[in-house]
Structure 1
Amino acid sequence: MKFYLETERLILREIKETDLDGMFELDANPKVHLYLGNRPISSKREALENIQFIQKQYKERGIGRFTCIEKTSGDFIGWSGLKFNQDKKEAVNGIQNFIDIGYRFIPKYWKKGYGLESAKACLEFGFSEMKYNKICAAALEENIGSNRILTKIGLQLVNQFDYENVKANWYELKKENYGN
């Protein structure tokens, strides 16, 4: 399956190796990693490995994150999309085998509504096209922007949990509650 979505201001498509410079700019930035519980990358080789990991997810899991391109400039601004967390090492909040919605943007594109716009499109795609029954997300409690996006698109706070000694929020939305 080929993945391609459009919103008013964005093109969301499969990630490609031509996104290497943008992925490096995104994932090498410490600000981007502030609420992620991991470290910034330090080489383009690592950025390429991240791209290849996402491409592998498309093939093996039928879904993965999408590159976000700003329509007016044609610039890579980050990624957004769905991911199937299926094995034990990807468990979050003690849960595995779930569809996760997430997004990550280069800081100069923050606070422009791109996270909300892309997340809405991905949620619609997940329920309407992929026919998922439930979509989940986790966000550190202190990541106000991400928590706000998740509630605005309709995900419901289910519980809080400890993520590497930091409070995190767990959200879910079932298909039958989507749009209500």
Structure 2
Amino acid sequence: MKIYVETERLILREILPTDIEGFFELDSDPEVHRYLGNTPVKSKEQIVEVINLIRQQYIDNGIGRWAIIDKANNDFIGWAGLKLVTEETNNHNNYYDLGYRLVKRYWGKGIATEAASASLKYAFDKLDVEQVYAIVDCENDGSNKILKKVGLHCVETFDLDGIPHHWYAIDRTTYNTKKLSH
């Protein structure tokens, strides 16, 4: 098992086949999927496919979403991190997308912000990327606040599958300036 990042409260590590139960709790919850197309998973077999896809991204791209583990009790909290997106989205392709998804009982505790911030640090300091993007449903107030809090700015609004989404970005210079000011 590879651990990528540790924060004060969290371990961000590779997603493992043994994460099925926590991953199922996360992705079968309709409230978690409210701004994600309202398509919660129905079976653990679907989760196995998702985990296999993410693990293949580690091999193919050297990066993929990470499991968020609570240091206090070793619980699976959700996932966060970067994904190399190779298909075109909003006239962009081959870009690093910042994302996160938490089990509902962990909402409102600053965990997504902590994990997103650690993921950006990894992107700029370890992967040496020039820019990171994020996409969020315009109505998802929680995620919009998190992305702004960790330093991304909304570049534009675009249509994704008939739903307005914000397109966020942060570049290396902006990240380093923000880092120095804290």
TM-score (norm: length of structure 2): 0.94
Shift of 1:43: 0.6
Describe how 1:75-114 pairs up with structure 2 within 5 A: 75-87=75-87, 91-114=88-111
Shift of 1:73: 1.4
Partner of 2:20: 20
Describe how 1:126-141 pairs up with structure 2 within 5 A: 126-141=123-138
TM-score (norm: length of structure 1): 0.95
Secondary structure of residue in 1 paired with 2:176: coil
Q: Aligned partners of 2:15, 2:121: CA distance in 1, in Å?
A: 19
Partner of 2:55: 55
Q: Which runs of 5+ in 1 are unaligned?
A: none
Give aligned-pair identity as a percent.
Answer: 45
Shift of 1:93: 1.6
Shift of 1:3: 4.4
Partner of 1:168: 165
Q: Aligned partners of 2:64, 2:74: CA distance in 1, in Å?
A: 21
Q: Aligned partners of 1:114, 1:176: CA distance in 2, in Å?
A: 25
After superposition, give the CA deviation of every residue in 1:21-46 in whole Å (9 maximum; x if it has no partner).
01111111111111112511111110
After superposition, give the CA deviation of every residue in 1:38-84 in whole Å (9 maximum; x if it has no partner).
51111111011100000000000110000000111110010000000
Divergent runs of 4+, >3 A: none
Match of 1:148 among 136, 145, 148: 145
Contact 1:101 1:119 in 2 (8 A): yes
Partner of 1:9: 9
Secondary structure of residue in 1 paired with 2:58: helix
Contact 1:154 1:179 in 2 (8 A): no
Shift of 1:139: 0.4
Partner of 1:29: 29
